[in-house]
Amino acid sequence: MSLGFVVSACAAGGGRCGVLRLPHGDVQTPVFMPVGTQATVKAVAQDVLERLGAESAGAEIILANTYHLYLRPGHEVVRRMGGVHRFMSWTRPMLTDSGGFQVFSLAGLRKVTEEGVEFRSHLDGSKHFFSPEHAMEVQVALGADIAMAFDECVETPATWERTRDSMTLTHAWAERSKEYFDGHKCERPWGAEFEGKTQALFGIVQGGMYADLRRESAERLVEMDFPGYAIGGLAVGEPREVTREMIARTLEILPRDKPRYVMGVGYPDEIEEYARMGVDMMDCVLPTRAARHGLLFRAAEVGEDGAAVRMNIKRVEYAEDQRPIDSTCSCAVCKRYTRAYLRHLFVAKEPLGATLNSIHNLSFYLDTMERVRAELAKS
């Protein structure tokens, strides 16, 4: 068994709630997955992650980053430490991304061929090569419950022709990823208690901002028969209507009985919208990155537009504000600390500021998904 997916309710708009069964546990969907780039969700300890959210259910699945862990501490180190779960002491499900996005956004001096991509480390300039096979080897060594096929991320904006060529390469790499993965998935670094269980490999739909290419990419990947599908290459600067359109066109093609994952989105209202369209999984650095910059999300109050409001905690208007970030939020931060104190921590550059802000923002994201799941469950 690598993955089970049960849809328990489906709304008219396409949104559905379900359960994703993975070797390290069950995940209620639709789910938002906090990002732990370097095997740590920045500034938040694992026991805190386990208790996040209104019901203290915590994060049921988190991400780690293939490119970053490959470079540091190295995937072979992580393998010898028992895989990324044991390495970071996280017993719940995990997902590693393909590494593609980081190779194409962080690394230097890339040279892409059909064989793979040569790149230089953003840490020390050292030269490396990722083929689909090598990317799979790295992800099997890391041992997340879900691995992602290696893909090329096209620059943006890109012409239709450039996007099509890149997509075609991504399809070839997806096939090679799957073949290597199927041949080596038994090598995941898990203990005896996981006997008979393996990782699951998802394919990634590309196609840029072209609906016809998105559909073609989805069809081609569905033919390859992955246990789940991601939609990649979105939220890279395009208008939100385009993101929504690309997701909608792709969802039409992807099978309804398999999990569907939009990578790297988004604001609270976006993750809610995409979940209602039928997306089952999402991840984004936004809640933690914004937190480190003092940007906090809270529910709108009477008279404010939208469902979620952003507040910049460094503003002087909060200097003596004795209220919590969000009076309707039951996270540990809103229960204990005032805006005045959080502003002080931010202005004084105290590390606790990033921690408390991250705890609140992540709680807000998880609570948003919990609310959407509850509503979808009634449909």
Question: Which residues are known to be catalytic?
Answer: 97, 283
Using an 8 Å Cβ cutoff, are 311 and 296 in contact? yes
57 binds a copy of itself (CB under 8 A): no
Task: Enter the DSSP assignment of 323.
Answer: S
Per the DSSP assignment, residues forming a β-bridge with 117 are 112, 130
List 332, 371, 375, 377, residue binding a copy of itself (CB under 8 A): 332
Closest separation between CB of residue 31 and a copy of itself, Å?
23
Which residue in 130, 202, 210, 341 binds a copy of itself (CB under 8 A)? 341
Q: Taking the complex as a whole, how short is the minimal distance between the CB of residue 82 and a copy of itself, in angstroms? A: 8
Q: Please identify, using beta-carbon distances, which residue of 205 and 313 lies nearer to a copy of itself.
A: 313
Which range touches a copy of itself (CB under 8 A), out of 93-101, 133-141, 215-223, 352-360? Answer: 352-360
Residues 16-55 that bind a copy of itself (CB under 8 A): 38-40, 42-47
Among the candidate windows 55-63, 71-79, 126-134, 174-182, which touches a copy of itself by CB under 8 A? 71-79
Which one, 41 or 251, has the nearer CB to a copy of itself?
41
Q: Give me the amino acid identity at 312.
A: N
Number of amino acids touching a copy of itself (CB under 8 A): 38
DSSP 8-state symbol, 295:
E
Alpha helical stretches, state H, 7-65 = 46-49
Contact 44, 355 (CB under 8 A): yes
Q: Closest approach of Cβ 80 to a copy of itself, in Å?
A: 6
CB of 255 or CB of 351, closer to a copy of itself: 351
**Which residue's entry shows tokens 């993955």?**
3
CA distances from 238 to 165, 208, 245, 326, 338 (A): 20, 10, 11, 30, 36
The 10 Å Cβ neighbour count of residue 291 is 27
Beta-strand runs (E) in the chain: 4-10, 16-22, 25-29, 31-36, 62-64, 94-96, 108-112, 117-120, 127-130, 146-148, 200-205, 229-231, 260-262, 281-284, 295-299, 308-312
Contact residue for a copy of itself among 57, 77, 172, 300 (CB under 8 A): 77
Which member of 13, 57, 80, 225 binds a copy of itself (CB under 8 A)? 80
Interface region with a copy of itself, contact rule CB under 8 A, candidates 27-35, 81-89, 145-153, 187-195: 81-89
Residues 6 or more apart from 179 whose CB is under 8 A from it?
none
Which residues are near a copy of itself by CB under 8 A? 38-40, 42-47, 68, 72-73, 77, 80-81, 87-89, 319-320, 322, 332, 336-338, 340-341, 343-345, 347-348, 350-352, 354-356
